[in-house]
Amino acid sequence: MENFKVTLDRIEEGIAVLLVRDEETVKINIPLFLLPPESREGDILDITIARNIKETEDAKERVSALLEKLKNKNKD
């Protein structure tokens, strides 16, 4: 799991522009509705990114099943 802090630099047309602290040279644009409703320009936010292995595997299985279905359909 990766956790880091960002500064809500500005809001432009429903997009929040976040600057990754400490250097604040990396910019992340994210839809404003994904932030807490009380977020304001200048706020420091904690961001956590975690890999979801279970959902990744489930998605791979669904895609494999669909591909297999398509292959079998073309054989008929």
Q: Does residue 74 surpass a pLDDT of 80? A: no
Other C-beta atoms lying within 10 Å of the C-beta of residue 34: 8
Give the pLDDT score at 8: 98
pTM of the model: 0.74
**Which one-letter amino acid corresponds to residue 68?**
E
CATH no., domain 2-75 = 2.40.50
Give the pLDDT score at 22: 86
Please write the tens of the pLDDT for every residue from 19-72: 999 888 999 999 999 999 999 999 999 999 999 999 999 999 999 999 988 888
Q: 25: which residues sit within 8 A by CB, 6+ positions away?
A: 19
Give the helix/strand (H/E) hosting 6: strand 2-12
Q: Does residue 76 surpass a pLDDT of 70? A: no
CA atoms of 17 and 30, how far apart (whole Å)? 7
